[in-house]
Amino acid sequence: TAGIYDTGDVHTNMDVDRTEFKNYVLYLPRFLLYWIGISPMALFWHRGEYRLFKELGTGMFVYYSISSFIWYKSSTVFIFAYWFYPLLEVASFLGAIAYIWHAFVDEKDPGNQYVNSVTILRGQDNIWNEDYHVIHHHFPNVHWTEAPKHFEMEKQKYVKCRATIFADCEEGQICYWMFSALWDEMANHFVDLLYVFTNGEKNEDKLLSVVEAAAYELKLLEDKTTEGKFTPEQLEKRAEAHHTEIKELLLKRLKFHYRNMEERDLKSFDALMNANIRDFEDIPKKID
């Protein structure tokens, strides 16, 4: 039941070290139980949300009744090839996507959606602005076309917690980097909103990735914007130190899992995770 009752999330990956591929394999059955509706039903019943339990149960009954009728009218081979196998295939694929969208956790604030939900800027597979994943989860009332404006409107909240933001990539690439332990490549694409350039500009305004920020610093030197303040060697060392800092930050967020916490801390952790889980009172107004 870990992951059903302790974090309010039926397909949480917060109890495993996400830097190890084997833990994704262990996570898949949990995602499958979510995908076929069993674990959400258990969660709704446990919370006493009987209306949601009834509505989901009704939909599942209709869906599985139709599937059973098709099985009865066809054959086991047909249902395996056109129903069961596709079910496993899509669960494996979407399970990986869900795994990466919420792979990063701030150990001091595990319920922080700005860290826990990945944001991708200039994404290469940004369908319906899902790359603004904080908005996708935390502000479900915002229309997908307004997500970029909402990101700008709420940017200081992202800055405050050094939100998990990447640029010029897509979730499949992040999965590949994580499952292949390509931490340097992952760090290269991170957008550090706390970074301040040598000329005083802030990256919260420019939204450059780590590798782009390093290149921009050299451009400032070439343009003589920071002439006399830094040498190319100093800028290179500064870029290396920044890259190392970001890589360590990402690994720390990936490695955190609540199973290594003291038992006395679990109640406070549970309270943090479940705080305002059904609270949608703070809904922003429509964006002009």
**17 secondary structure, DSSP code:** -
pLDDT, one tens digit per residue, over 99-156 is: 999 999 998 888 899 999 999 999 999 999 999 999 988 888 999 999 999 999 999 9
Q: Are 165 and 221 in contact (CB under 8 A)?
A: no
Q: Which is more confident, 97 or 136? A: 97
Q: Any residues with CB less than 8 A from the CB of 21 and at least 6 apart, and which? A: 179
Q: pLDDT per residue over 148-191, tens digit each?
A: 999 999 999 999 999 999 999 999 999 999 999 999 999 999 99
**Tokens for 156?**
């200081």
Amino acid at 146: E
Which residues face 167 on adjacent strands? 121
Question: Looking at residues 189-207, what average pLDDT do you find?
Answer: 96
**pLDDT at residue 225 above 70?**
no
Length of the chain: 288
Say whether 165 sits in a helix, a strand or coil: strand
Q: How would residue 230 be classed by pLDDT, with cut points 50, 70 and 90?
A: confident
Q: Is the pLDDT of residue 37 over 90?
A: yes
How far apart CA 22 and CA 194 sit, in angstroms, is: 33
Give the residue carrying structure tokens 């930050």. 249
Give the whole-angstrom CA distance, residue 78 versus residue 186. Answer: 42
120: exposed, middle or buried (Cβ count in 10 Å: 0-12, 13-18, 19+): buried
pTM higher than 0.95: no
Residue 121, classed as helix, strand or coil, is strand
Is there a contact between 181 and 161 (Cβ–Cβ < 8 Å)? no
Tell me how far apart the alpha carbons of residues 155 and 279 are, in angstroms, rounded to a whole number. 21
Task: Count Cα atoms within 13 angstroms, Cβ side, for 72.
Answer: 6
Residue with tokens 């309010």: 8
- Is residue 131 within 8 A of residue 123, CB to CB? The reply is yes
Cβ contact 37:60 at 8 Å? yes
Q: CB of 91 within 8 A of CB of 138?
A: no
DSSP state of 142: S
Task: Decide if 165 contacts 190 (C-beta within 8 A).
Answer: yes
pLDDT score, position 136: 84
3-state SS of 93-120 is HHHHHHHHHCCCCCCCCCCCHHHHCCEE
Between 128-132, 147-151, 204-208, 282-286, the lowest mean confidence (pLDDT) is in 282-286
Q: Angle of helix 21-35 relative to helix 38-47, nearest 10 degrees?
A: 70
Token digits for 221?
A: 């030197």
The number of C-alpha atoms within 13 Å of 212 and in the hemisphere containing its C-beta is: 13
pLDDT for residue 229: 78
Strands 165-167 and 119-121: parallel
Say if residue 91's pLDDT is above 60: yes
